[in-house]
Amino acid sequence: MTEPRIVVVGGGAGGLELATRLGEKLGKRKRADVVLVDRNSTHIWKPLLHEIATGALDSGLDEVSYQGHSKHHGYRFQRGSLSAIDREARTITLEPIHDSDGEVVLPARQIEYDYLVLSVGSVSNDFGTPGVAERCHFIDSPQQAEHFRRHMLDTFLRYSDPERRTHAKLSVGLVGAGATGVELAAELFGASRMLHSYGFTALDSTNLEVHLIEAAPRILPALPERISRAVHGELERLGVKIHVDTRITEANEDGFITADGTSLHTDLSVWAAGIRAPAFLSELGITTERNHQVTVSSTLQSVDDERIFAFGDCAACPLSPDDDNRVPPRAQAANQQASLCYRNLRAAMENKPLKPFTYRDRGSLISLAHFDAVGSLMRGTSARSLFIEGRLARMFYASLYRMHQMAIHGAFRTGMTMLVDRLNRYLRPKMKLH
């Protein structure tokens, strides 16, 4: 009897952790053929994208090659973008891969599956706001983060020439005061100081103006109010100009226009307001929500097909079997769902009952570059939380990435990576300058 094939589409944090665990436990033992599909050839932990966008992190040092990783962890990797699912034949179709000149490198391909897992994450939602798609940067992928970084460096250089300045200060507008917008705002001040210290630009943080714009009554609206207040105060101390209860109706060449008609000049514009699942999910013939999330039951199975699973930001999953509210799009939710998805896939293969998902809030942490960190930790199953900030919060925030590395690399390699990271602090510049 041939081993069942499990195809995981999407190599984000949850997808890569799931493929790694399946490969280690089943692939290496020839109990399943595990295939990971992703449109990119390398993996970057998504919460690091705001650091890549400002050059605080060199993506070349932290990215993981799917091809190399798969060799050591018992799964196979296929590069490509999902374009169709044939549920009757149990096959998926991948789009052709083109080179930089538009020539086909790999033609469209079909991959058979016995079980299919969708874990393709989310993208920013511009809500159809005029001009946003054309005028704003998005920070949803390493490529977008790197594109913003290059534009940021060029803009700082341009403002170093007094004759080319259009305004007294270099202005950056960030729409959306969720975790990405808040953390990017703080990182920008760190980047401006670092660029000045290296002599890259004559500008320093006093010449930088960062506008953080949020339609809700407060920043970080999805997190506890105590965290929001603490972060708000710290950002204002850095110099961030915070605009709450402010809705953007248009992006243009000069910046943004708000709902009350006010024009806000920006030299760099970033959109990080709201998220949605990738639109192609609604074209696959399975039930999705208005925001393109795949509708799944509490066992993470598609409501249309018990052999198709979905989790993470791309799935609309009940909070628990007794609560039809949706699981929030947070990294910890994807991590918890990846663990359950692994157990449920094994149960399905062995014709055993599948377990329902119940979301457990472990708390929230926000990093404000090297300036500060703020967050709360949940006390076990209690609804009460422990508020933390400063050095302790920064330590817990850093540990989140190390836990991800442990999940995909194991303890020894993670320990070696930590050693290399420490050495690089002395051997390399503190930010990417090229």
Please check the confidence at residue 312 and state whether its pLDDT lies above 90. Answer: yes
Q: Please give the C-alpha separations between residue 354 and each of 32, 166, 267, 317, 345, in angstroms, as whole numbers.
A: 18, 61, 52, 15, 8
> What pLDDT, in 10s, does the model give residues 175-209?
999 999 999 999 999 899 888 888 888 777 788 99
Average pLDDT estimate for 257-266: 96
Calculate mean pLDDT across residues 402-422.
Answer: 92
Q: Comparing 5-122+277-349 with 126-274, is the CATH topology the same?
A: yes
Residue 382 in this model has a pLDDT that exceeds 60:
no
| DSSP-assigned letters across all residues of 102-164 | S-EEE--EEEE-SEEEE----EE--TT-TTHHHH-B--SSHHHHHHHHHHHHHHHHHHTSGGG
CATH of 5-122+277-349, one of 3.50.50.60, 3.40.50.11720, 3.20.20.120, 3.40.640.10: 3.50.50.60
Q: What is the pLDDT of residue 372?
A: 75
Q: For the chain, what are the domain ranges?
A: 5-122+277-349, 126-274, 363-427
Section 252-276 average pLDDT: 95
Whether the predicted pLDDT of 1 surpasses 70: no
Question: Closest by alpha carbon to 388, among 378, 374, 402, 371?
Answer: 374
pLDDT band at 289 (very low <50, low <70, confident <90, very high): very high
Q: What is the pLDDT of residue 383?
A: 53
| Stretch 386-406: mean pLDDT | 87
Of the chain, the percentage scoring pLDDT greater than 70 comes to 98
State phi, psi for 327 to the nearest 5 degrees: -65, 130
Q: What average pLDDT score do residues 372-391 get?
A: 71
Average pLDDT (27-51) is: 95
Distance of CA 341 to the CA centre of its chain: 20
Residue 309 to residue 386: CA distance in whole angstroms: 34
Fold of the CATH domain 126-274 = FAD/NAD(P)-binding domain (3.50.50)
The pLDDT of residue 17 is 97
Supply the pLDDT for residue 161.
79
pLDDT category at 163 given cuts 50, 70, 90 is confident
Least-confidence region, from 75-84, 251-260, 398-407: 398-407
pLDDT-derived band at 378 (thresholds 50, 70, 90) equals: low
The answer to whether residue 306 scores a pLDDT higher than 80 is yes
Across residues 109-127, what is the average pLDDT? 96
Give the per-residue pLDDT at 65: 96
Predicted confidence band at 384 (pLDDT cuts at 50, 70, 90)? low
Mean pLDDT of the chain: 92
